[in-house]
Structure formats: C-alpha cells, structure tokens
Amino acid sequence: MNNNRKARQAPAPSAKPIIFTNCAILDTLKGELLPGRHVLVEGDAIKAVSDRPIKAAGAVVYDLAGRTLMPGLCDAHVHVTAILSDLARLGGLSPAYITARAINVLNGMLRRGFTTVRDAAGADPGLAQAVREGVFAGPRILCSGRALSQTGGHGDVRSPGETAADTCSPPQWALSRICDGVAEVRRAARDELRRGASQIKIMVSGGVASPSDRVASNQFSPDEIRAIVAEAEDADSYVMAHAYTARSIRRALECGVRSIEHGNLIDEETLDLLVAKGAFLVPTMAIYELVWREGAEAGIPQVALDKLGDLRERSLEALGLAMRKGAKIAFGTDLFGTFFEQQSLEFTLRQAVCSPAEMIRSATAVCADLFNMSGRIGVIAPGAYADLLVIDGDPLQDIGLLQEEGRHMSVIMKEGKFVVNRL
C-alpha cells in the first residue's frame, strides 16, 4: 500500500442558509424603503423575499432591527490596473507587479460596498477569473481587455516625437492597442473578445491623459466604428466609447455604440439622440475634480493638466441636462493612481443635480441594465445574486451613508459570503 497516497476527503458541507429579518429593503427602481421585510439567502443567491417571517432549516438569522438592506453598488467605469497617475508609465511595469497592486485596489472597492465593476481598459480577463474563483476578494469584474484606439488617438501613449518600437505590427500598451482601418479594427475586436472581454471599449474622441491628440478631435471613422460594433453584437456583446464632444458622441451613437463614457461636452440635440437610441451615459465627475485638485502633486504630466480645460466645469452641466432629458445614466468614477480611495466622491459631486434615490438607482439598477444583468444584480429579489449591504441608517435621506470607506455598512456581502459583518 502506498502510504503517501492522500485519504479521500468527504465533500465540504454546504453553507447554512442566512435569513435577514426585520429589515427595510431599499427598492432601487422605485426609490423607496419597504419596512418589515425578511430575506432568505441560500448559496450565492437570494432565495426568497417576504413581508412575513421566513423559516429555513438550519438557517443563521440576523435581526436587522429596521436597518436598511440594499443591493451592492456598481461602478461602470473603473481601471483597476491603472496603479500609476502617469498612465504612460504603466507599460514599463511587470504585469505580475500590476496584478499584485490591483488586488489591493479591488479589495478596497469591495469594502466600499461595490460588488460589481466594469473595467474600462486594462484588466486582463484572467483577473476577473481569479476573483470569480475566490483566489482573492474583489467585486465581480466585467473586463474590456485593452481599449481600441486609432494611431494618434486617446489610447496612443507615445509623445509626438516617439515612434513605435515594433514597426511590423500595431503597438500595444497596458491599457490600449492601436488599430487602423476596417480590417485591423475587426481583428482587434475579435481578439479582445477571444481573450474574454465582456464588452469592447473604443476611443472616439481625444482625451486628457493622451499626449498627442486634441480633446476636440474625432477618432475612428464611421466605417471603423460600425465594424467594431458589428463584431461585438455578433458575439452577443456591445461597445462602450470614450467620448467628450457632441460630434464624437453623435458619430458613435449613429454607428451603434451603446455606452457613452464621460460625455462632458454633450449638447441637448445629442442627448435627444442618446435617449432615442436607448443608449447609456456614464459621467465620471470624480476624476476631473481630483485631477484639478491634486493632479500635479500626484505626478500627472503637465501636458495632461493643460488639457483639462472646461471638462471639469462642464461635467455637472452635462449631467443636469441628461437628468432633465430622462437619459439612462450609470454610475462611474474613472479613478486611477493615487485616487482610488476617493471612489465615493462621485456621490458627493452628483448631489448638486441628483437626489439620493437617483444616485442609488444609477449605481444599482441602471448599471444592471447596462451590463445586461437586470434581475441578477442591482435589486433585492428572488434569483438575484446575494450581493447585499446593510446600512446603518436611510441612504435615501443621507447619501453620505454610502461614503467614508464603508464605515456605515454593518454588512457587505457578495454572492452570499460575508466580506464585512459587524452585526
């Protein structure tokens, strides 16, 4: 007999059901609290929701004594691997080092109550797989892989005097890859989808962090954008587009782009088109405020600071106009480098034009719709993932309860497992 042979182990017992009783459920669609509710969690999902007490054999019961129970938050625009404020320097770092740093970034997001995030460029689908398999704690990640950019576009990090190291193929960087012409963009989109991207990110206007383009520039031709959209739709996915100006947003929408990122310089006519198309707007106000306040100290290059222009001031105006038009507005932050810990600042900035209920809906049910995950996240309902937050107070009256690094969250649960439990 081989004494080194390991004994066969019995399967681990399944986790006990969990019942949250006497809670006030936050209905994210209606924007109201439903008191006296009871919720049963089995495995990774919500099994039952009732206005009467629930019983389940062997269940662990937590009496919330009227506390708010709400779904986990979503951030539709993150860059979890953008660990430096000077984004052009990311390419010089070891991927293993970036991943190690990203683990802390992801853990921080989860402990702020964000249970699902959409990475807008940079995160390898393998990172999402590691979280999914429980290798380390983090929110559910919907990866875009590398963003697609034209030569000289927002994803091209070369300075004007620099050339590609490899002239035989389009260059690639930590967050983006270059592709020009219909054939190249098709191949690039197919490759990102092959690698596991949940959606495709493209750059259709200039940006702040890119050194060689103008904010007002249009990027990618209509034929290129349509080709990328077609590839995404054929893979049962969609395209999200970095875009600032009304004309670049209009071109993207006319070509079938579903999600407009930033949109600071959008106008009324273009918002009408966005609403008519059923597309989404993802404002990211926090990053402009933080770059304006702390960018130089954080090491952001002066060429980027010079391009900030009126993007910060116009962002609130654009959000207010979008609210009045009834646009579908998702919650996003776009933070990187030293700014990750200020993720919840987005709530503070949106208060000027949004009610707490509108902000919460933006960070839950609207994101779920955008991610094609309605009924699975962003709501408390049977069949949804047990991504749950217990809030010490009513966030519909005080949005500050969703800030301060999760300080007011007695429970943070993802897929039925406690991340934080202070009950």
What are the average pLDDT values for consecutive 10-residue runs of the chain, which has 423 residues? 41 75 98 98 98 96 98 98 89 92 97 98 95 96 97 88 63 89 98 97 91 86 98 98 97 98 97 98 95 88 82 92 97 95 95 97 98 98 98 97 95 98 95
Q: Phi then psi for 104, rounded to 5 degrees? A: -65, -40
State the first-to-last Cα distance of the chain, in angstroms, to the nearest integer.
51
Which architecture, in CATH terms, is 73-370?
Alpha-Beta Barrel (3.20)
H or E, element range at 12: none
Contact 40, 17 (CB under 8 A): yes
- CATH number assigned to the domain covering 18-72+378-421: 2.30.40.10
Position of tokens 């109550």? 113
Dist. CA 198–CA 190, nearest whole Å: 12
Dist. CA 314–CA 332, nearest whole Å: 16
For residue 270, which amino acid is it?
T
For 271-304, the DSSP string reads HHHHHHHT-EEE--HHHHHHHHHHHHHHT--HHH
For 235-283, the DSSP string reads TT--EEEEEEEHHHHHHHHHTT--EEEEEEE--HHHHHHHHHHT-EEE-
Please, where in the chain does CATH 3.20.20.140 lie?
A: 73-370
Contact 191, 233 (CB under 8 A): no
pLDDT of residue 152: 92
Structure tokens, 212: 């060689």
Dist. CA 131–CA 151, nearest whole Å: 33
Contact 378, 76 (CB under 8 A): no
| Alpha-carbon distances, residue 48 vs 105, 130, 262, 380 (angstroms) | 33, 29, 38, 9
Helix (H, G, I), strand (E, B) or coil at 33: strand
H or E, element range at 18: strand 18-27
Dist. CA 237–CA 372, nearest whole Å: 9
H or E, element range at 143: none
pLDDT of residue 26: 98
Please, where in the chain does CATH 2.30.40.10 lie?
A: 18-72+378-421
Bridging pattern class, strands 32-42 and 18-27: antiparallel
| Alpha-carbon distances, residue 158 vs 107, 144, 172, 177, 334 (angstroms) | 32, 22, 11, 12, 21
Calculate the CA 87 to chain-centre distance: 18
pLDDT of residue 157: 85
pLDDT of residue 164: 62
DSSP label of 378:
S
| Alpha-carbon distances, residue 156 vs 179, 181, 209, 293 (angstroms) | 10, 16, 10, 26
Which residues does 391 contact at the CB level (< 8 Å), separation at least 6?
26, 67, 68, 69, 70, 401, 402, 408, 409, 410
pLDDT of residue 352: 94
Which residues does 358 contact at the CB level (< 8 Å), separation at least 6?
31, 323
H or E, element range at 79: none
